[in-house]
């Protein structure tokens, strides 16, 4: 077959015109997929950090507290790095222990945001909404009714004997998973002692765990070193965010019944003065909430209110 010289030239010119356009289209497609937003929410507590076993690590009066603010920050950073390796583009962290001013904010990357201090209506989950893709719990502990686990309690070791949702006692991890579930967001990772990890995995199948220590008793554990724990958390956070579709959001639907049992009579007696509250027994009040958002706000009120508040 004879090909005229001119047609080869015009073919090459046409190719030369098309190729840059294809390259530009490919580059646009790649950058669009690279910028696909993937929002990860991290709720961080302290009792479940590597090595944390007693109040000495957990509050400003403890001799190891300043050191443990560093360790908490490093475990949160490990979770952030793991999430990023799995494609996370935005991270919101909520400091959710004690005074909620534990994490060293100046150690966090510039594009991470941090929620600090109380009160906040969604408690340890403030800032969560339906725009998030996954939730990670870092440094968590087991619940008040669990006979095992380091520092096992639910929201207040001093004041609450049990927190029940729809009749079932729940640890903070399950309570907070139900808040995330209200917004359709799955919890995909929990870090803490072995009891804490098993407790959430029993309620929410498929959640990844990073057990950084084995509980021996309320104030004792057999722990990994902080560096080894951070490597584990980084690895598990990456796997959890990558496989997030395997976990269903933990949805309780509505209405949700809260039964809150205090350690003493008087808080229950006073709360039952309110027409929205029923007194179930001497130390237990019941509040039926429209949904987990309303229920969380009730808990935040009960935990935060006192008539002598200033300013």
The least distance separating Zn ion from the CB of residue 124, rounded to whole angstroms, comes to 9
Query: 95 φ, ψ to 5°?
Result: -75, 115
Report how far residue 151's alpha carbon sits from residue 49's, in angstroms, rounded to the nearest whole number: 11
Question: Which whole-number Å values give the CA distances from 310 to 189, 305, 306, in the listed order?
Answer: 38, 11, 10
Burial class (CB in 10 A: 0-12, 13-18, 19+), 101: middle
* Three-state SS sequence of 9-37: HHHHHHHHHHHHHHHHHHHHHHHHHHCCC
Beta carbons of 90 and 110 less than 8 angstroms apart: no
- Provide, rounded to whole angstroms, the least separation between the CB of residue 107 and Zn ion: 20
Q: How many residues bind Zn ion (CB under 5 A)?
A: 4
Beta bridge partners of 222: 214
Q: How many CB atoms lie within 10 A of CB 256?
A: 20
In angstroms, give the least distance from the CB of 131 to Zn ion.
Answer: 26
Q: How far apart (Å, rounded) are the C-alpha atoms in residues 297 and 251?
A: 17
Q: Select 46 or 200, whichever has its Cβ closest to Zn ion.
A: 46
Closest to Zn ion by CB, 55 vs 206, is: 55
Contact between 234 and Zn ion by CB under 5 A: the answer reads no
Contact call for residue 97 and Zn ion (CB under 5 A): yes
Closest CB to Zn ion among residues 46, 88: 46
List Cα–Cα distances, 132 to 38, 41, 89, 115, in angstroms: 7, 7, 11, 16
Q: Specify whether the CB–CB gap between 292 and 256 falls below 8 A.
A: yes
Nearest residue to the partner Zn ion, using Cβ: 97
Residue 245 burial by CB count (10 A; 0-12/13-18/19+): exposed, middle or buried? exposed
**Pairing mode of beta strands 90-95, 39-44:** parallel
User: Least CB distance from residue 143 to Zn ion, whole Å?
Assistant: 12
Please identify which residue in 45, 75, 172, 193 interacts with Zn ion, judged by CB under 5 A. Answer: 45
- Altogether, the residues listed in the chain come to a count of 311
Question: By C-beta, is 86 or 93 nearer to Zn ion?
Answer: 93
Q: In the complex, what is the shortest distance from the CB of residue 215 to Zn ion, in angstroms, rounded to a whole number? A: 15
Nearer to Zn ion, 249 or 303 (CB): 303
From the list 289, 307, 309, the residue with the least C-alpha distance to 299 is: 289
Q: Report the residue number, 175 or 287, with the smaller CB distance to Zn ion.
A: 175
Contact 20, 26 (CB under 8 A): no
| Residue 238 contacts Zn ion per CB under 5 A | no
Task: Mark the segment that binds Zn ion (CB under 5 A) among 65-73, 97-105, 129-137, 220-228.
Answer: 97-105
Identify which range of 45-53, 75-83, 241-249, 282-290 contacts Zn ion by CB under 5 A. 45-53
Nearer to Zn ion, 97 or 213 (CB): 97
Q: Which is nearer to Zn ion, 97 or 182 (CB)?
A: 97
Stretch 266-305: interaction string toward Zn ion, x if CB under 5 A: ----------------------------------------
CB of 141 to Zn ion, least distance (A): 7
Residues of this chain that interact with Zn ion (CB under 5 A) are: 45-47, 97
């Amino acid at each position: 077959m004879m090909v005229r010289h001119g047609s080869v030239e015009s073919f090459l010119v046409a190719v030369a015109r098309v190729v840059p356009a294809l390259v530009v289209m490919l580059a646009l497609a790649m950058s669009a997929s690279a910028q696909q937003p993937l929002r990860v929410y991290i709720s961080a507590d302290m009792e479940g950090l590597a090595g944390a076993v007693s109040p000495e690590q957990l509050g400003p009066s403890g001799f190891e507290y300043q050191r443990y603010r560093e360790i908490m920050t490093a475990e949160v950073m490990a979770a952030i790095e793991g999430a990023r390796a799995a494609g996370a583009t935005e991270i919101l962290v909520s400091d959710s222990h004690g005074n909620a001013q534990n994490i060293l904010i100046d150690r966090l990357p510039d594009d991470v945001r941090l929620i600090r201090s109380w009160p906040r209506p969604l408690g340890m989950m403030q800032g969560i909404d339906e725009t998030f893709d996954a939730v990670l719990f870092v440094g968590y502990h087991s619940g008040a009714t669990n006979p095992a686990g380091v520092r096992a309690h639910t929201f207040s070791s001093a004041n609450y004997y049990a927190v029940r949702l729809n009749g079932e006692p729940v640890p903070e991890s399950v309570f907070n998973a139900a808040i995330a579930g209200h917004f359709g967001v799955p919890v995909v990772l929990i870090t803490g002692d072995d009891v804490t990890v098993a407790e959430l995995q029993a309620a929410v199948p498929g959640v990844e765990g990073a057990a950084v220590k084995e509980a021996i008793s309320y104030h004792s554990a057999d722990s990994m070193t902080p560096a080894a724990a951070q490597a584990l958390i980084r690895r598990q956070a990456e796997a959890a965010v990558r496989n997030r579709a395997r976990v269903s959001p933990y949805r309780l639907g509505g209405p949700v019944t809260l039964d809150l049992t205090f350690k003493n009579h008087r808080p229950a007696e006073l709360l039952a003065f309110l027409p929205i509250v029923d007194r179930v027994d001497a130390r237990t009040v019941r509040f039926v909430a429209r949904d987990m958002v309303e229920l969380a706000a009730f808990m935040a009120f009960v935990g935060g209110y006192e008539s002598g508040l200033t300013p």
